[in-house]
Structure 1
Amino acid sequence: MTSDDLPIGRRVARWRVRRSMTQQMLADRLRRSKSWVDKVERGVRALDRYSVIQELAHVLRVDPQVLLGQQRSTSAGTPGGVDDIRAALARYDTPQAPAQTDELRRQIGYAWLSYQHADYGQLVRVLPCLLEAVQGARSPELLVQTYRITSSLLVKLGEADLAWLSADRAMSAAGDDPILAATAAISVAQALRASNRDRLALTAAQTAANRILPAPAYPADHEDGGLRGDQTARQPHDQRSEGEGESEGAPARRRSAGEW
């Protein structure tokens, strides 16, 4: 039996497993109960509303027609689209272009919005051109942001090694900026986790966190204590000076009193 011959509930279950979701996770994202998901997958509850099928397809990141068994395409991230991103990441000869930072920031913001709404098909289409434009602008901030979006998308599409490459590019673009490096390290950790390298992912995240930790501040009373120590050390000398002044001046005052 091919995937197109399966009941829609079985196709939902198959895609849920491919997306590494439990029934409870899928239910939470749909804001429904686990029992509802279980009944759908077993065919006990019919999916007779297209709006519900669209909602399921959105969460599972597939075309609604895939769940309906009417086409064989898999997900929004088609192999051709991923190949275009791979080609953009492989370019090292991008000529430097005048930086249109405002326009690039707008495009990057739109790309993040598409990612947050799981519009991965749109991202696959726009990222190759965006990567080329940002590489030409040579702005560390814009490079880090674009490489991070690319890495996050590739993790979602199951391209963990390519995601790690993009995240590593973000780290290189960050340079000595601790904030940019820390944000890039988030993508590195996510890509490593997607590659089942959990220990390396934890190390990358901890290293980034240590780079942005504030320097330890010395207690204020430490410096005050040193100052007070100096004053205390000087105090006997000052007291002796005052005492010596009085002892030398006392006979003179007494003689003056006797003369009066």
Structure 2
Amino acid sequence: MQRFTDMPPATRSNGSRLAGLRRGRRWTQSRLARETGYSLAAVKAFEQGRRSLDRGSVILEFARALDCHPAEITGQPYTPEDQEGQEVVAAIAGVRRALLRHGRPARPTDEEASRVDLVSLTQRVAQANAARQSSALPRSAEVLPGLLRDVQVAVDVLEGESRRQAYALLMSAYECSMQFLYKLGRDAESTLAVERVVWAAEQTENPLLVHAANWYLAGEYLSIGEHHDAADIIDTALRGLGTPRTPEATSLTGAFHLKAALNGARGGDGGATDRHLEHAREAADKLGGDRNDFQLQFGPTNTAIWSVSLCVERGRGREAVRTAEHVNRDLPADYSAERRGHHWIDVGRGYWYNSQRDEALSAFLTAEKIAPQQTRMNPAVRETVRTMIRTQRRSGLVELGMRVGAV
């Protein structure tokens, strides 16, 4: 039998990594079952790859018991084998360098200082965010390092209101970098970027921007299972927003309710999930249309997409499939590729939970067509496809498995 340590990294399942971490603690499968509350049969099925270990809440339970980061179970960061994916990953060094230089004097050359133009920088930041939302990771990789440098220079050389505007652009550029790094599974760098987002937002002296930055901060705590801390940040923001009187504040309030719903789903609080999702729907109805304030893409469409995601987070395959049927019918073809790609990933997982294997494969292929690199780098896709291959080896499935690194 092939040992875990002999297996190529790309072919290791979340279950095999879980088994390795368990053995590293010198725990038996029975001990892991007792510590997490899962049955011994479930632990064995996860470790043997007969049951997909892809749900965030389940991964967090095991990570908490084994005192490890969830990425140690999911195997992130993952290095793709295709040329385009490797070029995207190669750009991480430049983004990381810009993040590490945060807060230090930019020491611009005379030429760099003379080129500072807020109008041009605003356009470039908007273009970078548009590339990210269209899931054009190669384009993001191309523009982010230079953009971060130029906005950091602007913060250094400008004064007064112009400097506050530059800080707002810096916050947005850091946020774009965070999303880029997150999609590539670079958790440490992504967390660093979130800290930079919060800091830059505070320099703007704009309360709404500070709340928007804390939306991402709440997500950091949620991702490692610190649900009380995430809830505290969310509740503080919702109290600060109060009864929203502008579309921007309404949009942000709705986005926080979606984050709270996810926190409830990951933390096993179904009542909170349902309650906050309903509040988000009310905010979306109040807006009457989709908005992109603070790059959060809140509105009726994204709320509908989240309604499917939350079913998947709770392991409710039948409900996810039923909900997705309505969402798919109304999903605008020109909605952001980033969100549409994530939606079809969740649809595929919902079909898988509902034992609809052919439909699951079709949904994953749709996600890949919409957002290729985003789908191939998604840990839930890799884990689910790997499990599908173990239980039903078919040519189209194996080909997708090769592209996502599952075989």
Query: TM-score, structure 1 length as denominator?
Result: 0.51
Matched, 1:208 2:225: no
Native 8 Å contact 1:154 1:163 kept in 2: yes
Q: How big is each residue's C-alpha offset from its partner over 1:97-152, in whole Å with a ceiling of 9 and x where there is no partner? A: 35411111111111111111111121122111111111111112111111111111
Match of 1:169 among 186, 196, 209: 196
Query: Take 1:72 and 1:163, find their aligned partners in 2: how far apart are those partners?
Result: 23
Q: How big is each residue's C-alpha offset from its partner over 1:45-65, in whole Å with a ceiling of 9 and x where there is no partner? A: xxxxxxxxxxxxxxxxx9xxx
In structure 2, do the counterparts of structure 1 residues 110 and 141 end up closer, same or farther at CA, with 3 Å as the change threshold? Answer: same
Matched, 1:157 2:169: no
* Amino acid aligned to 2:143: V
* Amino acid aligned to 1:167: V
Shift of residue 164, structure 1, vs aligned partner: 1.6
Native 8 Å contact 2:197 2:213 kept in 1: yes
Native 8 Å contact 2:91 2:141 kept in 1: yes
Aligned to 2:174: 147
Aligned to 2:85: 75
In structure 2, do the counterparts of structure 1 residues 164 and 206 end up closer, same or farther at CA, with 3 Å as the change threshold? Answer: farther
Q: How does 1:101-250 map to 2 (within 5 A)?
A: 101-138=118-155, 139-175=166-202, 176-213=205-242
Task: Say which structure, 1 or 2, has more relative contact order (CA 8 Å, 6+ apart).
Answer: 2
Runs of 5+ consecutive residues of structure 2 not aligned to the other structure = 1-6, 11-51, 56-77, 156-165, 245-407
Query: Take 2:219 and 2:87, find their aligned partners in 1: how far apart are those partners?
Result: 18
Aligned to 1:241: none
Query: Take 2:139 and 2:223, find their aligned partners in 1: how far apart are those partners?
Result: 22
Native 8 Å contact 2:84 2:138 kept in 1: no
Aligned to 1:39: none
Query: Rg: which structure is higher?
Result: 1
Shift of residue 204, structure 1, vs aligned partner: 2.5
Shift of residue 194, structure 1, vs aligned partner: 3.6
Q: Percent sequence identity over matched residues?
A: 23
Query: Take 1:185 and 1:76, find their aligned partners in 2: how far apart are those partners?
Result: 32
Native 8 Å contact 2:148 2:173 kept in 1: yes
Native 8 Å contact 1:163 1:191 kept in 2: no
* Amino acid aligned to 2:209: L
Native 8 Å contact 1:160 1:192 kept in 2: no
Native 8 Å contact 1:167 1:188 kept in 2: yes
Q: How big is each residue's C-alpha offset from its partner over 1:210-246, in whole Å with a ceiling of 9 and x where there is no partner? A: 333369xxxxxxxxxxxxxxxxxxxxxxxxxxxxxxx
Native 8 Å contact 1:181 1:208 kept in 2: no
Query: Take 2:87 and 2:237, find their aligned partners in 1: how far apart are those partners?
Result: 30
Query: Take 1:168 and 1:2, find their aligned partners in 2: how far apart are those partners?
Result: 34
In structure 2, do the counterparts of structure 1 residues 106 and 122 end up closer, same or farther at CA, with 3 Å as the change threshold? Answer: same
* Amino acid aligned to 1:93: P
In structure 2, do the counterparts of structure 1 residues 187 and 178 end up closer, same or farther at CA, with 3 Å as the change threshold? Answer: same
Query: Take 1:213 and 1:77, find their aligned partners in 2: how far apart are those partners?
Result: 45
In structure 2, do the counterparts of structure 1 residues 182 and 79 end up closer, same or farther at CA, with 3 Å as the change threshold? Answer: same
Native 8 Å contact 2:88 2:137 kept in 1: no
Query: Take 1:185 and 1:119, find their aligned partners in 2: how far apart are those partners?
Result: 26
User: Cα RMSD over matched residues?
Assistant: 3.6
Q: How big is each residue's C-alpha offset from its partner over 1:173-213, in whole Å with a ceiling of 9 and x where there is no partner? A: 12232111011112222333344444433333333333333
Query: Take 1:125 and 1:93, find their aligned partners in 2: how far apart are those partners?
Result: 24
Query: Take 2:211 and 2:84, find their aligned partners in 1: how far apart are those partners?
Result: 34
In structure 2, do the counterparts of structure 1 residues 151 and 206 end up closer, same or farther at CA, with 3 Å as the change threshold? Answer: farther
Shift of residue 72, structure 1, vs aligned partner: 4.7
In structure 2, do the counterparts of structure 1 residues 117 and 204 end up closer, same or farther at CA, with 3 Å as the change threshold? Answer: same
Alignment coverage as a number of residue pairs: 159
* Amino acid aligned to 2:126: G
Runs of 5+ consecutive residues of structure 1 not aligned to the other structure = 5-16, 22-61, 216-260
Match of 2:117 among 91, 97, 100: 100
SS of the residue 2:138 aligns to: helix
SS of the residue 1:75 aligns to: helix
Aligned to 2:97: 87
Shift of residue 157, structure 1, vs aligned partner: 1.2
